[in-house]
Structure 1
């Protein structure tokens, strides 16, 4: 991992310092009035952070080239990244996927049994940005707090590799880990899938595509998942401006990932359009100020209606991507621990 530039290090230090001020000052510095939408009140730290981003004129991904957006993702996820616990081991691996070698990063925390539960983690980033580095702190926290091996999957990105490349890689990665569980020191009966945003989408896809496998996911942790790539739910528009993830950015992601608008209704792209009966137990987490909020809530409801054991939680004052900023946002860190606790209980 390349070190942050001095300018970015200063930005991170300044942001953390300003975000440590009392809530009343956060709101004052952000414009003076709390922000409310749909009965949800935006967290004062988040409000101030978003105001700082506007003052700094930080670009949105859709305003950048793909290459520049990927660099911006690496910086964004490190400025307020949570403190990452030390692992017993972190090692790279790879296997032959449907389109070539797929890199993996395997995290093993201290004091796990020889045959430990495991979680495949699929990173967010709209199928276009993100990777092993952007979600390294989150993967370490998941491994440490959920007491499991974490296998992070570096699936192929668009637009170089459009749908269904990411879905194919995600399913192949689960089957690879399941088939090689003993060699990896993993209990094949306790392998979960987890991911945020696009990674939540891939976790849901894997959970559905492997229902008839001899080994299937024991649990799915869906963190503000993108489950309807047709973008038909109301919060896409009502929260599509001013809360970090913008509607034009979502359109930019979909334009790069999908081969055509018709792909958006394919269940392997949009689990919302799938028959979900028989899916593994799930925990779905959304954020009150996330354009993906409504589809995540609806998908949890669809799982429940199909007889799947599911818990649903909306972190009402948070925004899309808050787990990656949980090193600077006081309410985001407990939210991340709530997610890891659900995973730990499911795998125990």
Structure 2
């Protein structure tokens, strides 16, 4: 079990990082550890994606649009459930499998992660995986969760919520919120601190994370101490304001990578454009599916991270600016040379490990 990169590359990311102001928000920019080329892809990512980029050149544009036929969903699920991380966690971490009862009686699978040196009365990370609401699984992000646990000795819990389209909105959202309430009600038996529960999620899981925080605020329960949003889906309705207007002009792309990056942006645009159909609703312009439109004042401390070439970058940085303007304590991390889903690549890309470190530091900083 080891990294596929050197410790030197990990150290270089920290050495070369710096803070910039984007639309009024402080953003910690993580440069490539071994390249100064503006708009370049990370060389490790480019090597992994080169074959895929070549194949995409010959794909008809119709295949880049969301198709919710069982055959199409099956293919996409297989792709979104691929485990890409390289095992690198050395500390012994016990994984306990259990279930939590949903509002309709369904037993929601959960996993509890405890290191051999877990803190007493530990902070809790509640992690919600991504996958476009129809794919993904806790397996895909398990190495990320384990790495955070290894580095912080906190508790972690992940959820295997029900997926669309078989389980239309708001089933998956309500599953995730049911598990949050269960965690809060059972912190003592879990060995955790109910005052230090942090909810996190990537991509669609970021949307589900914000849903949990929003519902907690609406019900006045005060369960969520902080939230961590990894390249989250926040503005499905693409509502424009002073901070957000999507444009390819927002992306700096080196000529060598132009064709590949633009194809990837186009693919995600096609996928995101069909999320309402996947979710089984025409009402994507609500404050749960498009939390960007909600007044953010009063949100707990929020961590946001996104890649330079992610289709969701524009809305993520706009959300950071909006939260900052509203007085929400916000930590924003932008990774140069990366696109979407780098949390799935622990042990493969140094930025993935760096992100885990940043997440752990954020949780420890805001724990009482």
Do they fold alike, i.e. is TM over 0.5?
yes
CA contact (8 A) 1:218 1:280 kept: yes
Spell out, residue by residue over 1:20-56, the C-alpha distance to the aligned partner (whole angstroms, 9 max, x if none): xxxxxxxxxxxxxx998xx633222222222132346
| Equivalent in the alignment of 1:196 | 202
CA contact (8 A) 1:50 1:244 kept: no
Once the two structures are TM-superposed, the CA of residue 60 in structure 1 deviates from its matched residue by 7.1
RMSD: 2.8
Give the Cα–Cα distance (whole angstroms) in 2 for the partners of residues 114 and 253 of structure 1: 41
Spell out, residue by residue over 1:267-288, the C-alpha distance to the aligned partner (whole angstroms, 9 max, x if none): 1111102122111111111110
Structure 2: runs of 5 or more not aligned: 6-34, 240-244, 252-260
Residue among 216, 224, 233 paired with 1:217: 224
Is 1:79 the counterpart of 2:84? The answer is yes
Give the Cα–Cα distance (whole angstroms) in 2 for the partners of residues 148 and 42 of structure 1: 33
Once the two structures are TM-superposed, the CA of residue 245 in structure 1 deviates from its matched residue by 5.7
Spell out, residue by residue over 1:287-330, the C-alpha distance to the aligned partner (whole angstroms, 9 max, x if none): 10000001111111121222211111211221101121232223
Give the Cα–Cα distance (whole angstroms) in 2 for the partners of residues 327 and 106 of structure 1: 22
| Equivalent in the alignment of 2:246 | 234
Spell out, residue by residue over 1:118-149, the C-alpha distance to the aligned partner (whole angstroms, 9 max, x if none): 01100011111011222211211122223311
Secondary structure of the 2:337 match is: strand
Is 1:347 the counterpart of 2:352? The answer is no
| Equivalent in the alignment of 1:285 | 305
| Equivalent in the alignment of 2:348 | 328
Give the Cα–Cα distance (whole angstroms) in 2 for the partners of residues 102 and 132 of structure 1: 12
Residue among 155, 158, 165 paired with 2:161: 155
| Equivalent in the alignment of 1:49 | 48
CA contact (8 A) 1:87 1:140 kept: no
> For the structure 1 residues 52 and 302, does the alpha-carbon distance in structure 2 shift closer, same or farther, using more than 3 Å as the test?
same
| Equivalent in the alignment of 1:92 | 97
> For the structure 1 residues 337 and 203, does the alpha-carbon distance in structure 2 shift closer, same or farther, using more than 3 Å as the test?
same
CA contact (8 A) 2:84 2:344 kept: no
Once the two structures are TM-superposed, the CA of residue 235 in structure 1 deviates from its matched residue by 5.1
The size of the alignment, in residue pairs, is 311
Secondary structure of the 1:268 match is: coil
Secondary structure of the 1:303 match is: helix
Give the Cα–Cα distance (whole angstroms) in 1 for the partners of residues 309 and 197 of structure 2: 31
Give the Cα–Cα distance (whole angstroms) in 2 for the partners of residues 244 and 330 of structure 1: 26
Q: How does 1:238-253 map to 2 (within 5 A)?
A: 241-242=263-264, 246-253=268-275
CA contact (8 A) 2:209 2:229 kept: yes
Spell out, residue by residue over 1:246-273, the C-alpha distance to the aligned partner (whole angstroms, 9 max, x if none): 222223444211411xx21111111102
Is 1:269 the counterpart of 2:289? The answer is yes
Spell out, residue by residue over 1:225-262, the C-alpha distance to the aligned partner (whole angstroms, 9 max, x if none): 110112454158976633596222223444211411xx
> For the structure 1 residues 336 and 40, does the alpha-carbon distance in structure 2 shift closer, same or farther, using more than 3 Å as the test?
farther
Secondary structure of the 2:113 match is: strand
Secondary structure of the 2:354 match is: helix
Once the two structures are TM-superposed, the CA of residue 203 in structure 1 deviates from its matched residue by 1.2
CA contact (8 A) 1:132 1:153 kept: yes
Give the Cα–Cα distance (whole angstroms) in 2 for the partners of residues 288 and 207 of structure 1: 26
| Equivalent in the alignment of 1:178 | 184
